[in-house]
Chains A and B, each alone.
Chain A
Amino acid sequence: MALEALAGISNDLITRAWMASTRAYNTDHFHKEEERETVFVAVRPSFLEKDWFAPENKSPFGETNMKRAQFPCMRSIGNDVDATVNESFLENFQVLTSPTTSFCDYVKTVVDSRQSQRIVFTGHSTGGATAILATVWYLETYFKKPRGGFPLPEPLCMTFGAPLVGDYVFKHALGRENWSRFFVNFVTRFDIVLRIMLARKASTKQVLPHVLSQLDPRVAIQENDQSIPGFYTTVMKETATVAHQAVCELIGYGDAFLETFSSFLDLSPYRPAGIFVFSTGTGLVSVSNSDAILQILFYASQSSNQDELSLVPFQSIKDHRSYEEMVHSMAMKPLNHLDLHHLPLDGDPILRDLGLSTRARQCVCAAFEAEKQRVDNQTKIYNKLPKIVEKLTWIEDEYKPRCKTHKNGYYDSFKYSNEEKDFKANVSRAELAGLFDEVLGLVKKGLLPDGFEGHREWIELSTRYRILIEPLDISNYHRHLKNEDTGPYMRKGRPNRYKHAQRGYEHELLKAGKSAEEIKESGCGSCFWADVEELKGKAYESVEVKRFEKLVEGWITNREIDDEQIFLEGSTFRKWWHSLPEEHKRSSLLRERMGETRST
């Protein structure tokens, strides 16, 4: 089978994972087994209602926020929101990782023993959902930090008929960290479990406990169960709403009527994450585009005629119990990877077998086109990078030194803006602002690939931009007295492009192993001048000033501020410092720095 080309997954690996998953049914929490260099950790599923929707949860889809302390990467940097996941699945995960089980210890032993090359988290049904969260936990705990020495066992998450776990942000964060590739979800065509999370829990509440009992492969299935068609129709109807709404939004972003109409609906936040492998009678189809998977989840479970419709509801239950057959028949089936270039609108037996009508293929195509658009947007931005670099270099190599010859830093020179070079710097500032605002706009609307914000090149450039140009924005702000009109820069005036750049930078620090407290403590060096302007306008207060001076020392060490500029003779900072009480100055941290410049 060609899956190996996809993620180095052999048929044997899938079979072993599935077998481990079935062995987990009768454990308390999880089942583990080792096979040469691979470790399998399979999580037990549950078919009780409370393990699907947390009883106390008030939200219409049973979702809850992921705590940033536990999952620092699972959030959006652009929109500064945390990912949401199903609360029950998260609780299952918390139990799994609590000290009552040996899960965490076991994983640690595996990592420390250096024997294994790969750790596979797997599970059927909700076991798969918990395995997904466990994999995220593994990535956050062991994988995010760069480590010297021996290589870590590479994680792989393989699920069989797992319900959707997280929302768009969840999927986006996995994409940004380049972790999506570790998640492979196997799905049979009609499996209802994949669609359950797209329906409001209120709409399925009554029959859900019964349906769940039917989904349990250990329980004998009732033929001709009359509650099943109703359940199927309800879930499908809401899946249709979500899928149609998503594709309309993908194409007609900002359509007012669509927005108004949607605001009257409770729409499921859950989105597919990772790679999905759909199985049909004749072949396998793998897709990695989340929007496309969502469309397929809806269209694949449509019937082609009334006769088929009378069978499909029962099939949707049976399919959740048929992963054994799927796994065993896999070796014989050809695999198609679906993307924009392999999507005929008509024909193709495997796609037809998956139930994708012309309309369906058109919607899947729209999802691929949207991704292509995101990539194109990214290319456009990358084409502008040399221009950005050129402007930054001019400020750095021309403007700053020229200001320095007047014994003014560029902050103060810009504030007085008496010369043509200041005017030129202002034009550069405005142009750069335009470019960065444009990027932020695209990021916020999800019009760039998920990985964009994680690219080192971008993070470094935006950090350089923030440190170099934000002082000019602060200068401009105070030059136009906006602090009197609008309020202090930090609270009222700081442009979002800098906040965004700072979040990206802090995220890098976090991944490099700094604690959230440390990062918060160190504050923001590019806002140095805003702090100076604020302090200047206030009466002297010893604690505050001392705290600030300590920060300044830190910023100089971290190269967040330029110590060749701020101590110059004409510097507002210097003037302010010299206006401080003698007593303070004598014991000040910065005494030497202020003195040194004076003597030169």
Chain B
Amino acid sequence: MEEYRFEKSEIQASFMMSTQLWSESWSLCNAADCAGNIQIQHVAGIMYVALPKVEMNQPGNLVGVEVAGYGIFAALSSSLLSGEPPYMVNDVILELFVSTGLLIQSQITQGLELEETKQVVITGHSTGGALAALTALWLLSQPSPPPFRLLCITFGSPLLGNQSFSFSVSRSRLAHKFCQVVSIHDLVPRGNDDRFWPFGTYLFCSDSGGLCLENADSVCGMFRILNSTGTPKIEEHQGYGYYVSTLSHQFLISRSSCGGRISDNSYEAGVALAVESLGFCNDQESGVLVKECIETATKKNRAPILRTSELPKHIEWYKHNCDVSPKQFGYYDNFRQFSNTREIRVNMSRAKLAKFWDGVLEMVEKNELPFDFYLAKKWVYTSKFYQLLFEPLDIAYFYKYKYSRTSGHYMKSGNRPKRYEVIDKWWKERGEPNKEKRARTRYASTTQDTCFWAKLEEAKECLDDLTCENSDAQRRTLLREKIDGSERYSATLVKMKEVSKDVLATNSSYTVWVEKLREFNKLKMSNGVVDESDAMET
């Protein structure tokens, strides 16, 4: 059965243009441009902030900008994909922002004190819009989010940053707060420097209608079409007032196709109408290109599906069997030491699930997931459950086959699969306040610190090194400190019953290590006594 598709880029534009947000934003932008300074106005529970346009002498260049850590956009996602160039933004706008950002912020704060509101619209025309976008981005990427909802609407604003920057805005899940209104005759928002890259929802408008595109590739495609076809009129850059007032009354008259046969397929009929809304003709080449743009933009992303086969139930069973088996290895050591049919099967599930979760994370990184994916608690819990059960197996596999002194330990130098770091992050962001921890009444069913075994493997190596005679005193102290640290840490976990039974199995690496450490201490103690008595005698 063919899937039903609906062309909504024009409807969405019509929707936006029928609202008061559309007309109010523009009229304040216009006021800011005329007055040459920031304008603030409260309308129907929303605070509008408009930044004035500033003349720009040269088109502006890209400069690197610090986003993570101490940079100005502290909370922007800092994880560059491999091979991605560093973040860059337009230097002129950045300079403008650096000199006026604090002033703008204080005026917003004052405005909020004047009349309490939970909704703020930041807007601006041309460079004012770019400044508005940068300000909005800055407010949104502070470590603590602003106490109001924010929407940024720009009119004919130049592009702000490079592709990495735009990706980062999307990855930080902020792109949906930006709406960029662009006249198809206006050259300023397009530029001809393809190092700049758009983000947010674009509303392209003409005398006959509007069109919304969210996908950055489609927006770029649209820029290319506009650059190659229409002759931009420079004075059109002033013409937003005209579009805003004309288009906000467009809803009164019905829209029917101006020519050609109407397709029986409602999607194709819709796309044809959308193409006409920008004044393109469906049977001309440019119209065909616009049609392609719309079609790529309306492709829908799908959430991965959790299938029952992805539920790691049989691993629970494996763990249970190992834990109760008379051999008393516990499931970590069982998996590490043996390669029987059972282990091979478990290993296959391990690999399969790792692939599944890596796939999910890749989609997250590329921003390919539906937006509400994050809101689903189900995913957070399922991923955590997966991690609790499988990270020990991944650690076991790592030490069984991959570990060498040169490659370093599991916890170091990127050996730990990235999926676990992300799952850790999700778990932390779940927003559950830290409760006071009391000891459990029984051992946990899975060890709560999923890296417990990795830490133990390091401690094991330290102890082995220490037992070898040939190391210098400084290194020995260092090793000793590490071992003591691990001993204290694991003892606390055991005491709080935060570990699962397999840790305490009589033949588990942990029990063996504790035993070995005790013997070593005993030995050292007796040696120490001898040493001292020697010293006394001399």
B253 near A244 (CB under 8 angstroms)? no
| Residue B266 interfacial (CB < 8 Å) | yes
With a cutoff of 8 Å between Cβ atoms, the chain B residues found around residue A431 in the complex are: 308, 311
Docked pose: A503 CA to B266 CA in angstroms: 40
| A259-B176, A479-B445 as given contacts; A247 in contact with B46, CB under 8 Å | no
| Residue A362 interfacial (CB < 8 Å) | yes
Q: Which of B200, B266, B273 contacts A365 (CB 8 A)?
A: B266
| Residue A260 interfacial (CB < 8 Å) | yes
Q: Which of A236, A305, A362 contacts B269 (CB 8 A)?
A: A362
CB nearest neighbor in B for A363: B11
Q: Which of B175, B176, B179, B251 contacts A302 (CB 8 A)?
A: B251
With a cutoff of 8 Å between Cβ atoms, the chain A residues found around residue B370 in the complex are: 254
B371 to chain A, nearest CB (A): 4
A305 near B253 (CB under 8 angstroms)? yes
A-B contact pairs, 27 of them (CB 8 A): A202-B44, A233-B252, A236-B252, A241-B15, A244-B11, A247-B8, A247-B11, A251-B6, A260-B177, A263-B149, A264-B21, A264-B151, A302-B251, A303-B253, A303-B254, A304-B254, A345-B263, A346-B262, A359-B254, A359-B270, A360-B254, A362-B269, A417-B320, A423-B320, A426-B316, A430-B308, A437-B378
B441 near A237 (CB under 8 angstroms)? no
Interface size class of A (residues with CB under 8 A): 35 or more
Cβ proximity bits A409-439 to B, threshold 8 Å, 1 near / 0 not = 0000000011010010011001100100100
Within 8 A of A (CB), among B233-266: 248-249, 251-257, 262-264, 266
B380 to chain A, nearest CB (A): 14
Q: Which of A248, A256, A357, A362 contacts B12 (CB 8 A)?
A: A248
With a cutoff of 8 Å between Cβ atoms, the chain B residues found around residue A258 in the complex are: 12
Q: Which of A251, A372, A426 contacts B8 (CB 8 A)?
A: A251
B167 to chain A, nearest CB (A): 16
| Residue A373 interfacial (CB < 8 Å) | yes
| Residue B348 interfacial (CB < 8 Å) | no
B525 to chain A, nearest CB (A): 39
Docked pose: A240 CA to B12 CA in angstroms: 11
| Residue A207 interfacial (CB < 8 Å) | no
With a cutoff of 8 Å between Cβ atoms, the chain A residues found around residue B313 in the complex are: 423, 426-427, 430
A357 near B254 (CB under 8 angstroms)? yes
B254 near A248 (CB under 8 angstroms)? no
| Residue A261 interfacial (CB < 8 Å) | yes
| Residue B70 interfacial (CB < 8 Å) | no
Cβ proximity bits B104-135 to A, threshold 8 Å, 1 near / 0 not = 00000000000000010100000000000000
Q: Which of B257, B314, B320 contacts A358 (CB 8 A)?
A: B257
CB nearest neighbor in B for A312: B252
With a cutoff of 8 Å between Cβ atoms, the chain B residues found around residue A365 in the complex are: 266
With a cutoff of 8 Å between Cβ atoms, the chain B residues found around residue A260 in the complex are: 149, 151, 176-177
With a cutoff of 8 Å between Cβ atoms, the chain B residues found around residue A103 in the complex are: none
Q: Which of A369, A420, A481 contacts B442 (CB 8 A)?
A: A481
With a cutoff of 8 Å between Cβ atoms, the chain B residues found around residue A257 in the complex are: 175-176, 179, 200-201, 214
Docked pose: A257 CA to B255 CA in angstroms: 25
| Residue B68 interfacial (CB < 8 Å) | no
A-B contact count (CB 8 A): 159
Cβ proximity bits B1-17 to A, threshold 8 Å, 1 near / 0 not = 00010111011101110
| Residue B372 interfacial (CB < 8 Å) | yes
With a cutoff of 8 Å between Cβ atoms, the chain A residues found around residue B11 in the complex are: 244, 247-248, 359, 363
A362 near B18 (CB under 8 angstroms)? no
B371 near A254 (CB under 8 angstroms)? yes
With a cutoff of 8 Å between Cβ atoms, the chain B residues found around residue A202 in the complex are: 44
B256 near A309 (CB under 8 angstroms)? no
Cβ proximity bits A485-528 to B, threshold 8 Å, 1 near / 0 not = 10000000000000000000000000000000000000000000
| Residue B444 interfacial (CB < 8 Å) | yes
B210 to chain A, nearest CB (A): 12
A244 near B15 (CB under 8 angstroms)? yes
CB nearest neighbor in B for A417: B320
A241 near B4 (CB under 8 angstroms)? no
| Residue A183 interfacial (CB < 8 Å) | no
Q: Which of A254, A256, A302 contacts B254 (CB 8 A)?
A: A302
Interface size class of B (residues with CB under 8 A): 35 or more
With a cutoff of 8 Å between Cβ atoms, the chain A residues found around residue B201 in the complex are: 257
CB nearest neighbor in A for B446: A480
Within 8 A of B (CB), among A551-592: none
Within 8 A of A (CB), among B149-205: 149, 151, 173, 175-177, 179, 200-201
| Residue A245 interfacial (CB < 8 Å) | yes
A514 to chain B, nearest CB (A): 33
With a cutoff of 8 Å between Cβ atoms, the chain B residues found around residue A417 in the complex are: 320
Cβ proximity bits B438-477 to A, threshold 8 Å, 1 near / 0 not = 1011101100000000000000000000000000000000
Docked pose: A431 CA to B306 CA in angstroms: 11
With a cutoff of 8 Å between Cβ atoms, the chain A residues found around residue B173 in the complex are: 256
| Residue A299 interfacial (CB < 8 Å) | yes
A430 near B311 (CB under 8 angstroms)? yes
Most chain A CB within 10 A, of B20, B255, B266, B320, is at: B266
A481 near B444 (CB under 8 angstroms)? yes
Docked pose: A258 CA to B21 CA in angstroms: 13
Within 8 A of A (CB), among B16-57: 16, 18-21, 44, 46
The A interface is mostly helix, strand or loop, or mixed, namely helix
Docked pose: A305 CA to B252 CA in angstroms: 9
A248 near B253 (CB under 8 angstroms)? no
| Residue A306 interfacial (CB < 8 Å) | yes
| Residue B401 interfacial (CB < 8 Å) | no
With a cutoff of 8 Å between Cβ atoms, the chain B residues found around residue A248 in the complex are: 8, 11-12, 15
| A302-B251, A309-B253, A481-B442 as given contacts; A241 in contact with B19, CB under 8 Å | yes
Q: Which of B18, B20, B269, B444 contacts A345 (CB 8 A)?
A: B269
| A240-B18, A430-B311 as given contacts; A299 in contact with B254, CB under 8 Å | yes
Docked pose: A263 CA to B119 CA in angstroms: 9
A240 near B308 (CB under 8 angstroms)? no
Cβ proximity bits B291-310 to A, threshold 8 Å, 1 near / 0 not = 00000000010000010100
B22 to chain A, nearest CB (A): 10
Within 8 A of B (CB), among A124-177: none
With a cutoff of 8 Å between Cβ atoms, the chain A residues found around residue B7 in the complex are: 362
A129 to chain B, nearest CB (A): 26
Docked pose: A369 CA to B441 CA in angstroms: 55
| Residue B103 interfacial (CB < 8 Å) | no
CB nearest neighbor in B for A250: B6
CB nearest neighbor in A for B5: A251
With a cutoff of 8 Å between Cβ atoms, the chain A residues found around residue B445 in the complex are: 479-481
B251 near A240 (CB under 8 angstroms)? yes
With a cutoff of 8 Å between Cβ atoms, the chain B residues found around residue A420 in the complex are: 317
| Residue B324 interfacial (CB < 8 Å) | yes
With a cutoff of 8 Å between Cβ atoms, the chain B residues found around residue A359 in the complex are: 10-11, 254-256, 270, 273
B253 near A237 (CB under 8 angstroms)? no
Most chain A CB within 10 A, of B179, B264, B270, is at: B270
| Residue A484 interfacial (CB < 8 Å) | yes
B136 to chain A, nearest CB (A): 12
Docked pose: A369 CA to B3 CA in angstroms: 10
Q: Which of A303, A345, A426, A437 contacts B252 (CB 8 A)?
A: A303
Question: Known contacts A259-B176, A309-B252, A420-B317; can you find 4 more A-B pairs with CB under 8 A?
Answer: A260-B176, A345-B262, A345-B269, A431-B311
With a cutoff of 8 Å between Cβ atoms, the chain B residues found around residue A236 in the complex are: 251-252
Docked pose: A241 CA to B16 CA in angstroms: 8
B12 to chain A, nearest CB (A): 5
| A257-B201, A362-B270 as given contacts; A418 in contact with B254, CB under 8 Å | no
Docked pose: A343 CA to B255 CA in angstroms: 17
With a cutoff of 8 Å between Cβ atoms, the chain B residues found around residue A255 in the complex are: 371
Cβ proximity bits A464-484 to B, threshold 8 Å, 1 near / 0 not = 000000000000000111001
Most chain A CB within 10 A, of B20, B179, B252, B440, is at: B252
| Residue A252 interfacial (CB < 8 Å) | yes
Docked pose: A372 CA to B270 CA in angstroms: 19
| Residue A123 interfacial (CB < 8 Å) | no
A135 to chain B, nearest CB (A): 34
Docked pose: A420 CA to B314 CA in angstroms: 10
